[in-house]
Amino acid sequence: MDRAEELKRQVQQEIDAHRGELVELSLGIHGNPELSLEEERSARRLADYLGGKGFAVTRGAYQLPTAFEAVYGGGNPHIGVIAEYDALPGIGHACGHNIIAAAAVGAGLGAKAAVDALGGTVHVIGTPGEEGRGGKIRMADKGAFSNLDAAMMVHPGSHNTSGCNAMAVAILEVEFHGRASHAAGAPEQGVNALEAMILSYNAINSLRQHVVDGSRVHGIITDGGQAANVVPAHSAGTFYIRASEDPYLETFKERVIDCFRSGALATGARLEHRWSEPQYRTMNNNAVIEDLYARNLKERGRVVESYEGKTFGSTDMGNVSFMVPGIHPIIAVSPPGVPIHTEEFQSYAGSEAGHRAVLDGAVAMGWTVVDLLAEPSNLSKAKEAFAATQTP
């Protein structure tokens, strides 16, 4: 057995030996869902655990109170394993980020043996606020990820893939300011902010036919007035604008804003808009690390499918993947056809299938760390592939 194979055996043993604790971490987070950037207990739980396993832990890393970084080893190369642990309003861990967190911790634990034998540094990075708040992008602005040679995480879903198709997304907050009046007694004195919103909403629907395939725009109206007998003086909404190519997102954003301008012009209401959160990029899947991960996941006994034609949604890991060679594989916890962000998926994320995904994801990532540390040409090929995707 060569050295890498022997190390992989150790990595697997270490992860399997901690199955109970990893499942406990996953269920602990699953059972106490915390919203984006409010993940105090989850972050503490994970940081405490890694601190107890010999990692040097920084809490509130990169100026985000619920971020952390747990480091083991020293010197080059630096490999990042990324944890997410935020939940969704109303439906808890329906995106299964508890599995991402526990798998990252497991991979970190396993990778210790590789670091002890081969040198290098493993960073388990706790990145809060993935759901809409762009935690990784905020952390990147403060220097996170810049010292990494490679980064990986694993996201639960309904199939096993080595990568994903993620859309670029921008989040828009819009408001219309009109003028209140009696809706029946003096409507001619009113400026109807709700009408402005409805017109804009319908204008967006008229735009849909004419956008590039794979684009998405969707939103909710959060204020449509206070009383039916008063002309609404104020309306508000939140909209997500997504595109499968980064440059097209800029064009699409402008077209959507034009829809809102049309509502303002027709009604006389004043439009206010702002892009509320950091903009998510598409995913720059690193083919070399993907291949290593896919081989490892197969070795662990899973069938790895192609992700061509499968749309994942969006992730702030996309932005990281344009800074450092990285992967965002999907690991199955539910049967095909169960979408994430549903109550059904939420229960899978806390099920026995979820626990198996934690262990398999941890081992596949841990083995990939071995591949990167044991065979330097893997990392140099990953970097070459990454360089080829960067626009000059």
Q: Which is nearer to Zn ion, 84 or 149 (CB)?
A: 84
Nearest residue to Zn ion by CB is: 95
Q: How far is the CB of 315 from Zn ion (least distance, A)?
A: 7
Eight-state DSSP code of residue 233: S
The total of other beta-carbon atoms located within 10 Å of residue 63's CB is 12
Quote the least distance from Cβ 271 to Zn ion, whole Å.
Answer: 29
- For the bound state, the minimum distance from the C-beta of residue 155 to Zn ion, rounded and expressed in Å, comes to 6
Residues 6+ apart with CB under 8 A from 361: 99, 103, 106, 107, 154, 329, 331
Three-state DSSP class for residue 223: strand
Q: Residue 19: what are its φ and ψ, rounded to 5°?
A: -50, -50
Of 84-113, which residues contact Zn ion (CB under 5 A)?
Answer: 95
233 vs 330 by CB, closer to Zn ion: 330
Name which of 281 and 381 has its Cβ closer to Zn ion: 281
DSSP3 helix / strand / coil % (the chain, rounded to 5)? 45, 20, 35
Q: How far apart are CA 290 and CA 152, in angstroms?
A: 10
**Closer residue to Zn ion (CB): 73 or 96:** 96
Nearest alpha carbon to residue 372 among 313, 327, 310: 327
Nearer to Zn ion, 286 or 314 (CB): 314
Residue 281 CB partners (closer than 8 Å, separation 6+): 168, 246, 318, 319, 321, 322
Taking the least distance from each CB to Zn ion, the nearer of 95 and 148 is: 95
- Please tell me the distance from the alpha carbon of residue 333 to that of residue 155, in angstroms, as a whole number: 10
The distance of closest approach from Cβ of residue 333 to Zn ion in the complex, given in angstroms and rounded to an integer, is 12
In angstroms, give the least distance from the CB of 370 to Zn ion: 26
The count of residues interacting with Zn ion (CB under 5 A) is 1
Q: How far is the CB of 340 from Zn ion (least distance, A)?
A: 6
> How far apart (Å, rounded) are the C-alpha atoms in residues 174 and 273?
4
Residue that has been written with the tokens 């206070």 in this structure: 226
Residue 10: half-sphere exposure toward Cβ, Cα within 13 Å: 18
Rounded Cα gap, residues 300 and 304, in angstroms: 11
CB of 130 to Zn ion, least distance (A): 6
Least Å distance, CB 94 to Zn ion, is: 7
Is residue 83 close enough to count as binding Zn ion by CB under 5 A?
no
Looking at the Cβ atoms of 49 and 240, the one nearer to Zn ion is: 240
Q: Which of residues 196-255 bind Zn ion (CB under 5 A)?
A: none
Task: Kindly write out the interface string for residues 39-78 of this chain, putting x where it contacts Zn ion by CB under 5 A and - elsewhere.
Answer: ----------------------------------------
Residue closer to Zn ion (CB basis): 88 or 197: 88
b/e code 17-31 from CB counts within 10 Å (16+ = b)? ebeebbbebbbbbbe
Q: Which helix (H) or strand (E) holds 237?
A: strand 234-243
Question: Contact residues for Zn ion (CB under 5 A)?
Answer: 95
